[in-house]
Amino acid sequence: MDNFITRFFDKSKIQKIKNKWGKENKQKRNFKQISGLFSKLKKYEEIDFFIDDQTFEDLNMKDIFSKIDRTNTTVGQQVLYNILRTPLLDEEKLRLRDKYIEFFQNNPKEREKVELELFKIGKSNSEVFDLIWDDLDGDKNRKYLFYILPCISIALIGSIFVVGFSKVMLPLVLDFVLNTYFHFKTQTVIGAYVNSIKYLGAIIKGAGKIGNLNIDELKEYGKILKENSNACKEITKKSGLLGESNLGELADSIRQYINVLFLVEERAYFRVIGKLKDKKEELKKIYLTLGEVDSLISVASYREQLQEYCKPELINEGKFIEAKNLKHPLVENAIGNNVHMNNKGIILTGSNMSGKSTFLRTIGVNSVLAQSILTCTADEYKASYFHILSSISPSDNLVSGKSYYFGEVEALLRIIKKCNEEVPTLALIDEIFRGTNPVERISAALEILKYLDKNNCLVTVATHDLELTKLLVNEYNSYYFREEVEGDKLIFDYLIKKGVSPTRNAIRILKYIGYPQEIVENAEKRILNCD
């Protein structure tokens, strides 16, 4: 009967898995929790290169993550986030990652078997990675007390059969009161970790089941999950003794009395804490491997939805990007552009709202996706491996007293410091030093852009300072976006063109959105006088 019920519910879950394949998951996401693993790995493990907070925000990578994320587990979410924060500089690792993504795309039956086990693990608000990467401090004295007190309870219960209940009643009541006191006092400590330990137990159990699926193409993952979950079985057993059960109200009440009398939960907690320290490396392997499997299934589903994408060709030399019909993955009905940068950066000019900032982000996002999930929204994408840094939306900070200009200065200094390394830097800069006066802005921008070009950096910079295109004609290629005026409307084609922008539209935009005619006309007259 139990097998029939299990099969029935498994079929129901498989149908849900089928229904969500290739579809975006628009649920709200807790990025504080999702980013927690990345923060932990950055603190404790060696990471060759990661996308810093400024660049991650500039490129709207949280939105990109949400577009890709179709994971079944919290572990998968966290590992997927970590993958996007840590682009690879290793072709072999990238190709191996792509091999598994492709397998999940082309083998639905095997993928659904894996997804079923991931689906059963599910998601949790618990921060399990704290249990694994941090050392939880267990009070050794209290630990021994929780072994002594249950022994007294057992001795008292046993003595009933020797001396009778009446003589043992008072000591037994006092013992129960004492155990109750320590039980509820300890719950304030244990309570914070109970859900995390139980979820960890579910992860270990699910990892073992995936390991036992014996799918040949996933044997490397299967071996890691099977061996390490077997080594951590005791954690799974003890985690089942913590928290509430699903046995019903009466059974839970009886279980609670037994817990108090024999301090079952407390002893299980300390046993788990001990095992967490002993099995730290095994648990890390389970967590990261299970999360990687879930995250790569998510990428496979994302590719299925994209339909049009390409696998990039990445070269470990030079500093270049060659792309055809490159699009931004978040823009519906996006207009594609060709990109040609070979050891020479781009100065981008053009009217407001014409697409300059989106173009910067398009290059940046596709570079991240190329080096993380080997998936680009383009017909073709060929490029060097890059460290990717941007200064698109630096902000002021009232709390620290930093001005907008100082925020720009700090953002650009990150790029300058990085550009002397062996791996080239891809720098994406929007309106360099817009927070200061034109004379100093152009002088400083000119020297910074020359410095970056001389060093190991490929730059795309958007600017309204047309003078820079003349001063940097030997170092940078000039491209622009423009608009067409049709009556009172501005029409943008969002297509990049070679050369320098011949038009301005700031005043037209004021008119377009309804500024008073007096302001618009006087501003236009002033421009004519300046020209």
Number of domains present in the structure of the chain: 2
**Pair 375, 474 in one domain:** yes
- For the chain, 531 residues long, give each residue's pLDDT as a single digit of tens: 445 556 666 888 899 999 999 999 999 999 999 999 999 999 888 887 999 999 999 999 999 999 999 999 999 999 999 999 999 999 999 999 999 999 999 999 999 999 999 999 999 988 899 889 987 765 555 666 666 766 667 777 777 777 777 777 777 777 677 767 666 767 666 767 788 888 999 999 999 999 999 999 999 999 999 999 999 998 888 777 665 655 555 566 666 666 666 667 777 777 878 888 889 999 999 999 999 999 999 999 999 999 789 999 999 999 999 999 999 999 999 999 999 999 999 999 987 777 899 999 999 999 999 999 999 999 999 999 999 999 998 764 434 446 778 888 889 999 999 998 999 999 999 988 887 788 889 999 999 999 999 999 999 999 988 899 999 999 999 999 987 766 667 778 899 999 998 766 677 777 777 788 888 778 777 767 765
Can you give the CATH number for the domain in which 386 is found? 3.40.50.300
Domain boundary among 250, 271, 305: 305
> Is 284 found in the same domain as 383?
no
- Same domain? 346 vs 452: yes
In-domain check, residue 448? yes
- My answer on whether 451 and 393 are in the same domain is yes
Is 125 a domain residue?
yes
Closest CA to 55 of 374, 517, 377, 430: 430
- My answer on whether 119 and 231 are in the same domain is yes
User: For residue 210, is it left (φ>0), alpha (ψ between -120 and 50) or beta?
Assistant: alpha
Q: What is the DSSP letter of 310?
A: B
SS3 458: strand
- Does the residue 120 lie in any domain? yes
Q: What angle do the packed helices 108-121 and 2-20 form, to 10 degrees?
A: 110
Q: Are residues 86 and 192 in the same domain?
A: yes
Closest CA to 293 of 222, 233, 369, 374: 222
Residues 385 and 463 in one domain: yes
Examine the fold and report which residue of 270, 305, 340 is the final residue of a domain before the chain moves on: 305
In a domain, 517, yes or no: no
Instruction: Identify whether residues 278 and 373 lie together within a single domain.
Output: no
CATH of the domain at 166: 1.10.1420
400 vs 58, 407, 411, 469, CA distance in Å?
21, 11, 16, 35
Is-contact 484 351, C-beta < 8 A?
no
| 225: nearest Cα among 280, 275, 286, 281 | 286
Residue 344, CB half-sphere, CA atoms under 13 Å: how many?
9
- The residues, any chain, with a CB within 8 Å of residue 521's CB and separated by 6 or more, are none
155 and 279 both lie in a single domain: yes
Residue 121, CA distances (Å) to 59, 198, 365, 376 in order: 32, 11, 31, 31
Domain that includes residue 91, residue range? 60-305
**β-strand 380-384 against 313-315: which pairing, if any?**
parallel
Residue 510 belongs to a domain:
no
146 & 255 share domain: yes
Statement to judge: residues 322 and 186 lie in one domain: no
323 and 299 part of one domain: no
**C-alpha angle with apex 51: 47 to 56, nearest 5 degrees?**
150
Q: Which residues, other chains included, contact 506 with Cβ-Cβ below 8 Å and sequence gap of 6+?
A: 351, 352
- For residue 512, being part of any structural domain is answered with no
Is 229 within the bounds of a domain?
yes
d(CA 483, CA 111): 48
The answer as to whether 465 is a domain residue is yes
